[in-house]
Amino acid sequence: MELMVLLNALITRLLFVLHSLIGVWRVTAVKKEPMYWLLALLNLLLCLETGLTLKFKQGRGYKWFSPAIFLYLICIVPSLWLLEIHHGTQYCGNEPGAVQVNVSNQDFNQSRESSHGIEGTDHHIIQTAKVFVNQLSTICETVWTLALHQTFLLLLVVGRWLLPIGVEITRDQLSQLLLMFVGTAADILEFASETLDIEDVRKNYALINAILAVWTWSMLQFPLDLAVQHIGCKPSTSARRIPSLLLCRYSAELWNIGVSLFIQDGPFFIVRSILMGHFRIFNQMLVFFTAKNILVVTLQLYRLAVITLDFRATVLQKRRKGEVCCCPCEPYEARAHATGHQENEMKEFVAFPPKEESQTPLDH
């Protein structure tokens, strides 16, 4: 096992565990009930996955799916749900979202004086850390929740980057996937923060739960790598099986269209439409992002129509030429390579014909 692969696998999962524990700590501090520390037991699943991955996959990833990302979602999402549902009204300073962490010199001097003559520098460091943690606890709940949302989405992207890639995915595909994840994370963060910050939404717990359910549903696209990988069709695939050929040729693009329509932009558009149509909630940003969702859904449907028409034209052209096969999903280079290989084999067969068996007279 390579040392860098081992370090990347362990460091990434350690970051996931630490961030999840911070979320559990915030829930416990907000709810003021120690029983919520039981949420930390969910990290045992991530520890078990780490051991199995190191043993059976030598730390590398799987094809089309990332168990570490999925288990990280299981560990952190319940904490974010509880924080959003609680949504305390603690005052956040003079400006909305202002973060003020004032660790005064007096606090440090007091900690230094209390530590002087007792245990020296080590005790001073511990006391300073306690003062810093106490000051962090004074930050208002809304700022903490937003910070956890932001770091959560950043860790999803950075963690997917640091996790060792498997043999099935190339670095070019990984770079494409990370760029897609950055845009997706920004849209999801905007959806959660923009809708849940509406005052009328906060008064309706059923609406809060519905928004959080759609937010959680949109997160399920992060553990999957289908957006950059082609399924590929088997050589035995018949040209009559049109859906199978369409899927194997445009698998990555069809997955992107499906994610946009059924996991992200489609559900986001439905939620925003309900807010404006049924609950009569209107503001400038809500109208803008609703229009953006409509535009994206329309463009995705247009892209789907273009793909279908292009594939249909390809199949009809091959049928007119009388070609039996062929799976049109195979890249041109692969077909050319296979054809050239067959021609080379034929030339060798012609140049070196099989030797005839020597016929020896039988003894009578």
Region of residue 88 (phi > 0: left; psi between -120 and 50: alpha; otherwise: beta)? beta
Domain residue limits, the chain: 1-89+141-227, 229-324
Residue 182: pLDDT over 90: yes
Q: What is the mean pLDDT of residues 39-49?
A: 94
**Least confident among 17-26, 32-41, 128-137, 279-288:** 128-137
Residue 172's pLDDT band, with cuts at 50, 70 and 90, is confident
Six-digit token pair at 355? 């030797």
Query: Residue 319's pLDDT is what?
Result: 77
| Average pLDDT in the chain | 78
Q: What is the pLDDT of residues 243-262, one digit of tens each?
A: 777 777 788 888 899 999 99
Residue 175: pLDDT over 60: yes
Residue 347's pLDDT band, with cuts at 50, 70 and 90, is very low
State the CB neighbour count (10 A cutoff) for residue 305: 10
pTM (2 d.p.): 0.77
Query: Residue 322's pLDDT is what?
Result: 66
Residue 6's pLDDT band, with cuts at 50, 70 and 90, is confident
